[in-house]
């Protein structure tokens, strides 16, 4: 199902600023057994982004968006879905300027939930991407519609055995995967890169940091080099759709890992969170 401002539609105006300039935001929400355990976290991040980009979107718009998300999830397509929400600034003629009272467009679509059980159980092979993330503290953390860095990084490989690529900033520090956030574990300390200058502040990243803190673990947000990852005790990538994928191997290196105990514990707790919702 696809909705444009609450109405079924397969088309979008070519003047839409999301299409013209990437002027908007998106959220990718997992629906499991008809439920969305992280919906509120997604909407909170969306609202933060709307405020940062100064996109007109009031309480009534958010209420309509909630109704439309419910409509898509209850469409009967399946109990497990991916719901993608896109908010663009709206429609204008050419030119970067826009009127202050411009109405935002709400675009919602659903697709089947892929299943990769072996990746969660056995881990994945990743690679180090050559393309570096652009740095902009104003846009850092936001899930805005301009994903060219990720598109270029993902174009670097065709090998289906490689499930994800790890991206670095302009200084060479690892930041995230092309579609995921990154965690490394060393000597019982769990760390994730800082995304205040580039990268996405993932909903799953925030949830796992909270779970780790509740377990009494030391959680650090810090610069992480490729060498630190290669010498970590455990490492994994995560997002709201895949959950946690342990990293088993980094392509073109001699480094391999088995799925570690701390990663397994987080996977178990995450599964319990989803079931409890």
Catalytically active residues are 28, 143, 176
Give the residue among 21, 153, 36 at the shortest CA–CA distance from 85.
36
Contact call for residues 199 and 140 (beta carbons, < 8 A): yes
**Number of residues that this document lists for the chain:** 277
Please give, one letter per residue, the 3-state secondary structure of the chain: CEEECCEECCCCCCCEHHHHHCCEEEEEEEEECCECCCHHHHHHHHHHHHHHHCCCCCHHHHHHHHHHHHHHHCCCCCCCEEEEEEEECCECCCCCCCCCCCCCEEEEEEEECCCCHHHHHHCEEEEEEEEECCCCCCCCECCECCCHHHHHHHCCCCCCCEEEEEEECCCCCEEEECCCEEEEEECCEEEECCCCCCCECCHHHHHHHHHHHHCCCEEEECCECHHHHHCCCEEEEEECCCEEEEEEEECCCCCECCCCHHHHHHHHHHHHHHHHC
Q: Both tokens of residue 86?
A: 């896109």
Q: Both tokens of residue 51?
A: 């405020």
Instruction: Considering only CA atoms, give the Rg of the chain.
Output: 19
């Amino acid at each position: 199902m696809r909705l444009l401002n609450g109405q079924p539609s397969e088309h979008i105006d070519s003047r839409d600023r999301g299409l013209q300039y990437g002027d908007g935001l998106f959220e990718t929400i997992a629906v499991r057994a008809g439920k969305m355990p992280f919906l509120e976290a997604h909407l909170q991040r969306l609202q933060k982004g709307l405020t940062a980009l100064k996109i007109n979107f009031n309480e009534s718009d958010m209420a309509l968006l909630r109704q439309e998300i419910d409509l898509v999830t209850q469409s009967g397509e399946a109990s497990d879905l991916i719901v993608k929400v896109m908010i663009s600034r709206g429609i204008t003629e050419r030119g970067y300027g826009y009127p202050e009272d411009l109405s935002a467009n709400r675009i919602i679509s659903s697709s089947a939930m892929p299943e990769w059980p072996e990746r969660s159980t056995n881990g994945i092979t990743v690679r180090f991407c050559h393309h570096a993330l652009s740095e902009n503290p104003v846009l850092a953390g936001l899930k805005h519609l301009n994903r060219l860095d990720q598109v270029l990084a993902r174009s670097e490989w065709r090998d289906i055995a490689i499930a994800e690529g790890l991206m670095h900033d302009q200084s060479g520090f690892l930041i995230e995967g092309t579609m995921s956030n990154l965690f490394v574990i060393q000597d019982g300390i769990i760390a994730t890169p800082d995304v205040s200058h580039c990268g996405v502040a993932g909903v799953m990243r925030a949830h796992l940091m909270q779970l780790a803190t509740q377990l009494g673990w030391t959680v650090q947000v810090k610069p992480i080099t490729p060498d630190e990852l290669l010498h970590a005790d455990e490492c994994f990538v995560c997002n709201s759709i895949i959950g946690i994928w342990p990293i088993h191997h980094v392509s073109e290196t001699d480094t391999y890992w088995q799925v570690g105990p701390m990663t397994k514990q987080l996977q178990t707790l995450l599964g319990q969170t989803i079931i409890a919702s």
